[in-house]
C-alpha cells in the first residue's frame, strides 16, 4: 500500500496547529508540516487525507513542553524530502540557532554561503519553512534588531521570542 497523508490538530497558545505528514501502511507518521491559523502559505487539508489525532502524539507532547517552558529543542523525526537543496541548507541553519537567541537574515546568509544579494533568497527560503515553531525561523530578525517576516504574523513571532526570553 502506498504512503498516505495524515493530519491532526493540536491546541496551543498561538492558536490551533495543523500537523501533517506521511505514513506508510502500518508505519509511523513522519511530520512534514506544522501550520498556524492564518499563516501565509499554510498547508490545507487535501482530498484523501486521513485525520489521525494520534499520529503526531510525540510532536504534540514536545510542543506542549516547549510552550510550558520545559523544552528548548525539538527531537522529532521530520520529513527531509521537502524544499529545494538551497531551502534545506537554510532550514538546517535555522535548526542551529540556540533557544533564546536571535540572528539576522544576513548571518543566516553567511552561514549558507549566500551573502549580499543572496539575503533575499534566504528570506524567501525562511518564509517557506514548513515546520513553524519546530524549526525556529522565528529566531531570525532584521540586522537592526527589528522583527521582520514571519509567515504566521509578527505578533506570533514576538510571542515566541518572549517565551524564549530572546527580546530585550
| Residue 78 known to be catalytic | no
Cβ(58)–Cβ(154) under 8 Å? no
Q: Could you say which of 137, 141, 152, 160 is catalytic?
A: 137
What pairs with residue 103 in β-bridges? 140
CA quadruple 152, 154, 155, 157: dihedral positive or negative?
positive
Cβ(14)–Cβ(163) under 8 Å? no
- Count the Cβ atoms, other than its own, within 10 Å of residue 115: 14
Assign 3-class secondary structure to 86-122.
HHHHHHHHHHCCCCCCCEEHHHHHHHCCCCCCHHHHH
Active site residues: 137
Amino acid at each position: 500500500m502506498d504512503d498516505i497523508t495524515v493530519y491532526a490538530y493540536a491546541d496551543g497558545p498561538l492558536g490551533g496547529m495543523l500537523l501533517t505528514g506521511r505514513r506508510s501502511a502500518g508505519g509511523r507518521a513522519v511530520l512534514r508540516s506544522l501550520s498556524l491559523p492564518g499563516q501565509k502559505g499554510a498547508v490545507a487539508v487535501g482530498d484523501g487525507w486521513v485525520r489521525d489525532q494520534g499520529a503526531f502524539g510525540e510532536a504534540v507532547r514536545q510542543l506542549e513542553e516547549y510552550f510550558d517552558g520545559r523544552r528548548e529543542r525539538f527531537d522529532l523525526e521530520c520529513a527531509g524530502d521537502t524544499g529545494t537543496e538551497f531551502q534545506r541548507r537554510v532550514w538546517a541553519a535555522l535548526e542551529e540557532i540556540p533557544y533564546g537567541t536571535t540572528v539576522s537574515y544576513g548571518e543566516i546568509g553567511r552561514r549558507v554561503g549566500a551573502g549580499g544579494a543572496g539575503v533575499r533568497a534566504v528570506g524567501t527560503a525562511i518564509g517557506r519553512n514548513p515546520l513553524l515553531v519546530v524549526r525556529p525561523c522565528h529566531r531570525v530578525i532584521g540586522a537592526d534588531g527589528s522583527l521582520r517576516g514571519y509567515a504566521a504574523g509578527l505578533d506570533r513571532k514576538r510571542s515566541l521570542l518572549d517565551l524564549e526570553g530572546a527580546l530585550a
